[in-house]
């Protein structure tokens, strides 16, 4: 009972963080499914969304700032694809990946220039930032909302992919890029749509994520971005439910490890803090390597064989 | 002929992908100095058989002997145990799955259906790399050039090989800038540079015109003499096959449907049916 | 005839390198770090370190075609190994303020007790090799599971390993060895390197890092041009063909990975030597990305390209574009635009332009000597025909 009581708060905040990662992870997994590209810039787009919120909320009321942030983020994602990835459509995959790293570098440096490297305080969003108490513990409302909002968005997205024309085109393109092109699917429209959906979810994710954190710095996007990507790989890249489940697992694991010292001390397993929280980020990668070694295609990934 | 030593023997090899049996209970052999052809319609499992022999795929069941030793062995196990559709499931007990490079070291070398030359390298370097497997140097002795004598010997041998196959004057060109026929020739030369006892050619005449095919036929004959190798080839050009092969195996839907000398195959009705296609209903 | 020509080229290259080292030695004496040209020394030092890091990355990413992003992690291992084993006894307790230092052994100091100045130099050399060896050992351990992975998965797994290493080195329980999240300092550093001849003190603070990089890069060039280097290229061009021609993929990928990591470790050690500090938090994935961009700038698959790319990268970001950060650039004064961080923005735009429009980089797959050779070859060829 004591174990549960000490662990539960970490699990709940972990589920919330997992939901935020899930929203970013979907962008990774969809883009990878279609372009076979690790979009290294995705985490930075997420950070830019956070910064835009900081600046826009300073001069506009929130009910205007929030939609505007989402709109501008989507525009950014769309533009990045058109400028940095589209010209490399026929280039080797390594070139596109390098271009993605270049965009990530540019966005971070741009953010550094604009903010002067200072921590920018994220605006308080009424209602969702409010403190509430559940199961006798104090937390903010956003922690509770996030997982539900995530699930709703994912259900809508899955419906979109399964039942609309553009969704069908996406599935076709991710299965076989060239054949879909020959069948008359307009590849560029499908890819743009993928980036638009991906960045939309990242923008929503950024609002939920940064509300729980004191502020935004230029490197704020790097770690959540990497973790979300790991979540996508963990779940089986290309699979949306996989990415979401992977994200929740990683979010919970991260949060529990952050509190593992306290949990172990309270339950008398160890007598003093041993600094395991240092590994909260690294553990994500331990999970990644374990899954890659034992099931390289992830939990829900499909196997592919090379033809000789 | 039958007193000649077997260089290759394939025993009950079955290759199953999911529910598809690509090669079904294939047994065949190649004796020293022979040229053996595998023919059959598209999708008959010829290249898959090649890939099993050369270690690219581990077979689902069966054995491969090379130069007297069993080099590949497998039996349906694990998940495959239940879903196995082939025969002789209980014949073998061991699992022996060498990687292709190990088999190449034993003396097998192959070419590919879709040419696989190293595109950033010159013709000369493409062949020189094939000498790597017989090296006596390690990373340090190679970096500090203690292997200079070996290196020079290799370069001389490559040059000599290029002369024999008639690619000497293009030795400094990029491999991929050569015309198609010469690329095929280069791929064969590269395989020969590993000093194989058995050479496996996967559709060496694909995409060639009759004159090039004619030249290739002579070239293969010359190789057998000059390099003292046995040859297995997959081919669709029947002129070439009938002209050059000592024996022929015919595959259809993964199964061996006929084997024999060219005259026998030419007259075999099953083979003719397989190539021309038979309407099942008409027969029944 | 071919033999004599390649021998002649080797001699020419050797002499060129010797002349370059002599020039660096002279610069080290005539330029003082406080001079207006002092920036040149810093660029040379850092440029040399990054050139080695970039070349070692190129060995893996460019020559063997293994897209690995773990470089910063191996550099970290090298930097820490070097730092830990060269902290002198008397400074150790000051460095490990909060911990009881576990390694109480400075290699250069121990050796200098027996052999004097030569012992110090030898000790630093041993510490450098040890730095490379630790990185190589870890690469071997990591390589066993991850080298089987396909391109993007390998990239992300190696990136992950670098992050794990960084976390591990900051863990408080390892504090007695790594000093936890605090930095390591007071170890053998470039700014203190001096040569005493007949009472004259000659500075070696630029010469030594450049020498380390030169020797290491020469070793990599020798490997690339050996039979192993050709096998690596074969793997990059077509893995299946390479395997069919008898190249053991697992073994050769491992050799490339371990070798690359060894030199990454040495470059990390040299970086610590140049910066005078080692701190795990500096070895983030951003460092790997920067090195990758240097490789791209110079041309993937060209060693001279990587060297040129690194020096340009360092010179541009540390020196030439400085004005963009401090209000005045090319005579234009615009303090509102040219303020802190603008340099990096301009710089990343330049890099994006290279990535998008000059994908070959500066050198493509060519090496510097190829450029001279081309000019001579054309008339010779005409004469033949």
- Give all chains having 3 or more CB-to-CB distances under 8 Å with chain C: A, B
Q: Which one of A222, A229, A292 has the shortest CB-CB distance to C149? A: A292
pLDDT band at A54 (very low <50, low <70, confident <90, very high): very high
DSSP B170: G
Contact C345 A109 (CB under 8 A): yes
Q: Does residue B201 share a domain with residue B171?
A: no
Residue B18 is predicted with a pLDDT of 85
Number of domains in chain A: 1
Task: Give B-chain residues touching A308 at CB under 8 angstroms.
Answer: 47, 51, 56, 112
Q: Which one of B120, B130, B151 has the shortest CB-CB distance to C237? A: B120
Residue B198 is predicted with a pLDDT of 96
Can you tell me the distance from the alpha carbon of B227 to that of B191, in angstroms, rounded to the nearest whole number?
Answer: 11
State whether residue C243 sits within 8 Å of chain B by CB: yes
Q: Which one of C226, C231, C246 has the shortest CB-CB distance to B194? A: C246
Contact C171 A279 (CB under 8 A): yes
Domain extent for A264 = 2-294
Residue C133: exposure state from Cβ atoms within 10 A (0-12, 13-18, ≥19): middle
Can you tell me the distance from the alpha carbon of C16 to that of C217, in angstroms, rounded to the nearest whole number?
Answer: 14
Average pLDDT over residues A61-67: 91
Residue A302 is predicted with a pLDDT of 66
Q: Residue A165 CB: number of other CB atoms within 10 A?
A: 8
- Give all chains having 3 or more CB-to-CB distances under 8 Å with chain B: A, C
Q: Does residue B282 share a domain with residue B246?
A: yes
Domain boundary (B194, B212, B242) is at B194
State whether residue C245 sits within 8 Å of chain B by CB: yes
Question: Is the residue at A299 inside a domain?
Answer: no
User: Which of A 267-306 lie inside 8 A of B, CB atoms?
Assistant: 305
Residue A84: exposure state from Cβ atoms within 10 A (0-12, 13-18, ≥19): buried
Residue C337 is predicted with a pLDDT of 73
Domain boundary (B175, B194, B213) is at B194
Q: Which residue of A has its CA nearest to B112?
A: A308
State whether residue C227 sits within 8 Å of chain B by CB: yes
Residue C378 is predicted with a pLDDT of 40
Q: Does residue B145 share a domain with residue B135?
A: yes
Q: Does residue B277 share a domain with residue B213?
A: yes
Average pLDDT over residues A246-271: 88
Q: Does residue B89 share a domain with residue B174?
A: no
Question: Is the residue at A138 inside a domain?
Answer: yes
Contact indicator for B117, B183 with CB cutoff of 8 Å? yes
User: Which of B 14-43 lie inside 8 A of A, CB atoms?
Assistant: 17
Residue C149 is predicted with a pLDDT of 82
Can you tell me the distance from the alpha carbon of B237 to that of A265, in angstroms, rounded to the nearest whole number?
Answer: 77
Q: Does residue B173 share a domain with residue B34?
A: no
- Measured CA distances, A286 to A242, C78, C148, C284 (Å): 18, 22, 17, 17
Under 8 Å CB pairs connecting chains B and C tally to 103
Give just the sign of the alpha carbon dihedral A45, A217, C172, A255: negative
Residue B277 is predicted with a pLDDT of 64
Phi then psi dihedrals of residue C197, to 5 deg: -125, 125
Q: Which one of B54, B119, B121 has the shortest CB-CB distance to C244? A: B54
Contact indicator for A120, A54 with CB cutoff of 8 Å? yes
Strands (E), C134-269: 184-185, 194-197, 200-203
pLDDT digits (tens, 9 = 90+) for B172-191: 999 999 998 899 999 999 99
The low-confidence residues of chain C, meaning pLDDT below 70, are: 1-5, 327, 372-385
Q: Does residue B97 share a domain with residue B19?
A: yes
Indicate the average pLDDT of chain A: 87
Can you tell me the distance from the alpha carbon of A207 to that of A209, in angstroms, rounded to the nearest whole number?
Answer: 6
What are the DSSP calls for chain A, one per residue?
-HHHHHHHHHHHHHHHHHHHHHHHHHHHHHHHHHH----TTHHHHHHHHHHHHHHHHHHS-HHHHHHHHHHHHHHHHHHHIIIIIGGGTTS-HHHHHHHHHHHHHHHHHHHHHHHTTPPEEPPPPTTTT-EEEETTEEEEHHHHHHHHHHHHHHHHHHHHHHHSHHHHHHHHHHH-HHHHHHTT--HHHHHHHHHHHHHHHHHHHHHHHHHTSSEE-TTTTHHHHHHHHHHHHHH-TT-HHHHHHHHHHHHHHHHHHHTHHHHHHHTTSSSS---GGGGHHHHHHHHHHHHHHH-TT-SSPPP-----
Domain extent for B255 = 1-107+196-284
Contact A98 C293 (CB under 8 A): yes
Number of domains in chain B: 2
Contact indicator for A54, A225 with CB cutoff of 8 Å? no
Q: Does residue B7 share a domain with residue B91?
A: yes
Residue C374 is predicted with a pLDDT of 53
Q: How far is A217 from chain C (nearest CA, A)?
A: 14
Residues 6+ apart with CB under 8 A from B63: B10, B11, B12, B13, B70, B72, B73, B92
Can you tell me the distance from the alpha carbon of C326 to that of A229, in angstroms, rounded to the nearest whole number?
Answer: 38
Q: Does residue B172 share a domain with residue B144?
A: yes
Average pLDDT over residues A152-168: 91
Domain boundary (B194, B228, B256) is at B194
Question: Is the residue at A165 inside a domain?
Answer: yes
State whether residue B100 sits within 8 Å of chain A by CB: no
Note the pTM of the prediction, 2 decimals.
Answer: 0.90
Question: Is the residue at A300 inside a domain?
Answer: no
Q: Which residue of C has its CA nearest to A293?
A: C145
Can you tell me the distance from the alpha carbon of C286 to that of C163, in angstroms, rounded to the nearest whole number?
Answer: 11
Q: Does residue B211 share a domain with residue B137?
A: no
Residues 6+ apart with CB under 8 A from C153: A233, A292, A296
Mean pLDDT by runs of 10 across the 284 residues of chain B is 80 92 94 94 91 94 94 91 88 92 95 94 95 91 91 94 93 92 93 95 90 91 92 91 93 92 90 70 40
Residue A39: exposure state from Cβ atoms within 10 A (0-12, 13-18, ≥19): buried
pLDDT digits (tens, 9 = 90+) for C306-354: 999 999 999 988 888 877 777 677 777 777 777 778 888 888 998 899 8
Residue C236 is predicted with a pLDDT of 93
pLDDT band at A91 (very low <50, low <70, confident <90, very high): confident
Least Cα distance to C156 among A205, A231, A167 occurs for A231
Question: Is the residue at A306 inside a domain?
Answer: no
Q: Does residue B207 share a domain with residue B271?
A: yes
Question: Is the residue at A39 inside a domain?
Answer: yes
Strands (E), chain B: 6-17, 20-31, 35-39, 61-66, 69-74, 108-110, 198-202, 230-234, 247-252, 255-260
Contact indicator for C267, C78 with CB cutoff of 8 Å? yes
Q: Does residue B122 share a domain with residue B39?
A: no
Cα torsion C179, C180, C185, C190 to 10°: value is 110
- b/e for C96-128, b at 16 or more Cβ within 10 A? beebebeeeebbbbbbbeeeeeebbbbbbebbb
SS3 content of chain C, % helix, strand, coil (to 5): 70, 5, 25
Question: Is the residue at A302 inside a domain?
Answer: no
Residue A123 has pLDDT above 60, yes or no: yes
Residues in B lying within 8 Å of C, measured between beta carbons: 54, 56, 99-102, 104-105, 109-110, 112, 116-121, 125, 128-133, 135, 137, 139, 142-145, 147, 151, 154, 190-191, 194
Tell me, letter by letter, the H, E, C secondary structure of A220-249. CCHHHHHHHHHHHHHHCCCCHHHHHHHHHH
Question: Is the residue at A169 inside a domain?
Answer: yes
Residue A306 has pLDDT above 60, yes or no: no
Residue B282 is predicted with a pLDDT of 40
Residue A241: exposure state from Cβ atoms within 10 A (0-12, 13-18, ≥19): middle
Give me the CATH number covering residue A153.
Answer: 1.10.3470
pLDDT digits (tens, 9 = 90+) for C203-250: 888 999 999 999 999 999 999 999 999 999 999 999 999 999 999 999
Per the rule left: phi > 0, alpha: psi between -120 and 50, beta: everything else, C85 is alpha
Residue C375 is predicted with a pLDDT of 47
Q: A222-235 vs A280-294: helix axis angle to the nearest 10?
A: 30
Give just the sign of the alpha carbon dihedral B190, B195, B196, B197: positive
Per the rule left: phi > 0, alpha: psi between -120 and 50, beta: everything else, A184 is left
């Amino acid at each position: 009972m004591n174990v549960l009581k000490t662990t539960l708060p970490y699990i709940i905040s972990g589920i919330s963080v997992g939901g935020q990662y899930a929203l970013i992870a979907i962008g990774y997994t969809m883009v990878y499914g279609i372009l076979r590209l690790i979009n290294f810039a995705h985490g930075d787009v997420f950070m830019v969304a956070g910064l835009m919120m900081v600046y826009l909320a300073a001069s506009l009321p929130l009910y205007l700032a929030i939609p505007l942030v989402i709109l501008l983020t989507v525009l950014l994602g769309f533009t990045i694809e058109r400028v940095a990835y589209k010209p490399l459509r026929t280039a080797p995959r390594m070139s596109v990946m390098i271009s993605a790293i270049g965009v990530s570098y540019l966005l971070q440096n741009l953010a550094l220039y604009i903010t002067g490297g200072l921590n920018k305080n994220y605006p308080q969003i009424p209602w969702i930032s409010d403190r509430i108490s559940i199961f006798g513990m104090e937390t903010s409302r956003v922690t509770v909302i996030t997982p539900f909002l995530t699930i709703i968005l994912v259900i809508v997205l899955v419906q979109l992919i399964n039942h609309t024309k553009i969704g069908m085109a996406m599935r076709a393109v991710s299965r076989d890029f060239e054949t879909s092109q020959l069948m008359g699917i307009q590849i560029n429209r499908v890819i743009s749509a993928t980036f638009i959906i991906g960045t939309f979810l990242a923008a929503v994710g950024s609002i939920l994520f940064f509300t729980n954190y004191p502020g935004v710095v230029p490197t704020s996007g790097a770690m959540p971005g990497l973790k979300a990507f790991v979540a996508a790989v963990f779940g089986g890249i290309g699979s949306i439910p996989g990415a979401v489940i992977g994200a929740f697992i990683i979010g919970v694991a991260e949060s529990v490890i952050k509190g593992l010292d306290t949990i172990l001390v309270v339950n008398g397993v160890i007598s003093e803090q041993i600094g395991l929280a240092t590994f909260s980020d690294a553990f994500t990668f331990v999970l990644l390597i374990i899954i890659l070694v034992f099931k390289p295609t992830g939990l829900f990934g499909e196997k592919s064989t090379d033809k000789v | 002929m039958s007193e000649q030593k077997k260089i290759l023997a394939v025993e009950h090899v079955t290759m199953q992908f999911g529910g598809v049996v690509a090669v079904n209970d294939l047994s065949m052999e190649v004796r020293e100095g022979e040229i053996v052809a595998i023919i059959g319609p598209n999708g008959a499992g010829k290249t898959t058989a090649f890939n099993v022999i050369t270690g690219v795929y581990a077979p689902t069941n069966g054995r491969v002997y090379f130069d007297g030793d069993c080099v590949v062995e497998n039996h349906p196990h694990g998940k495959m145990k239940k879903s196995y559709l082939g025969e002789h499931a209980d014949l073998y007990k061991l699992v022996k799955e060498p990687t292709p490079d190990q088999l190449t070291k034993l003396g097998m070398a192959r070419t590919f259906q879709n040419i696989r030359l190293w595109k950033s390298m010159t013709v000369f370097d493409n062949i020189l790399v094939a000498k790597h497997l017989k090296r006596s140097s390690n990373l340090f002795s190679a970096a500090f050039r203690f292997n200079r004598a070996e290196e020079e010997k290799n370069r001389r041998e490559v040059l000599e090989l290029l002369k024999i196959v008639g690619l000497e004057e293009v030795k400094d060109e990029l491999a991929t800038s050569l015309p198609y026929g010469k690329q095929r020739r280069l791929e064969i030369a590269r395989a020969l540079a590993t000093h194989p006892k058995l050479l496996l050619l996967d559709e060496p005449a694909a995409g060639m015109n009759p004159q090039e095919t004619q030249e290739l036929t002579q070239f293969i004959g010359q190789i057998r003499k000059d390099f003292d190798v046995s040859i297995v080839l997959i081919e669709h050009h029947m002129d070439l096959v009938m002209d050059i092969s000592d024996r022929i195996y015919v595959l259809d839907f993964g199964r061996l449907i006929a084997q024999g000398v060219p005259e026998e195959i030419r007259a075999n009705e099953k083979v003719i049916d397989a190539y021309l296609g038979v309407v099942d209903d008409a027969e029944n | 005839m071919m033999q004599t020509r390649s021998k002649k080229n080797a001699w020419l290259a050797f002499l060129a390198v010797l002349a370059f080292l002599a020039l660096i030695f002279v610069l080290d004496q005539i330029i003082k770090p406080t001079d207006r040209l002092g920036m040149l020394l810093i660029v040379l030092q850092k440029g040399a370190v990054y050139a080695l890091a970039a070349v070692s990355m190129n060995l893996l990413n460019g020559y063997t075609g293994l897209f690995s992003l773990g470089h910063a992690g191996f550099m970290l291992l090298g930097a820490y190994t070097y730092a830990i084993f060269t902290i002198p006894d008397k400074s150790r307790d000051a460095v490990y303020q909060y911990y009881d230092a576990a390694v109480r052994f400075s290699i250069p100091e121990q050796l200098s007790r027996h052999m004097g100045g030569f012992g110090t130099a030898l000790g630093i050399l041993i510490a450098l090799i040890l730095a490379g060896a630790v990185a190589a050992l870890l690469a071997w351990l990591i390589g066993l599971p991850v080298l089987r992975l396909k391109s993007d998965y390998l990239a992300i797994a190696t990136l992950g390993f670098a992050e794990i290493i960084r976390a591990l080195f900051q863990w408080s329980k390892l504090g007695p060895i790594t000093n936890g999240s605090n930095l390591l300092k007071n170890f053998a550093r470039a700014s203190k390197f001096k040569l005493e001849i007949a009472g004259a003190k000659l500075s070696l603070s630029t010469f030594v890092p450049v020498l380390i990089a030169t020797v290491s890069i020469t070793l990599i060039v020798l490997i690339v041009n050996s039979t192993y280097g050709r096998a690596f290229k074969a793997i990059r061009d077509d893995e299946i063909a390479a395997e069919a021609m008898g190249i053991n993929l697992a073994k050769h990928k491992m050799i490339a990975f371990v070798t690359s990591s060894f030199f990454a470790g040495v470059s990390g050690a040299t970086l610590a030597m140049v910066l005078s500090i080692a701190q795990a938090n500096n070895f983030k994935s951003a460092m790997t990305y920067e090195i990758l961009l240097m490789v791209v700038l110079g041309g993937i698959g060209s060693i001279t390209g990587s060297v040129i790319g690194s020096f340009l990268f360092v010179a541009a970001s540390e020196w030439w574009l400085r004005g963009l950060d401090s209000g005045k650039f090319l005579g234009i004064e615009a303090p509102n635009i040219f303020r802190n961080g603008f340099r990096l923005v301009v710089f990343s735009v330049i890099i994006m332009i290279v990535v998008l429009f000059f994908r070959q980089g500066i050198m493509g797959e060519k090496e510097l000597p190829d450029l001279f050779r081309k000019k001579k070859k054309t008339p010779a060829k005409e004469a033949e025909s």
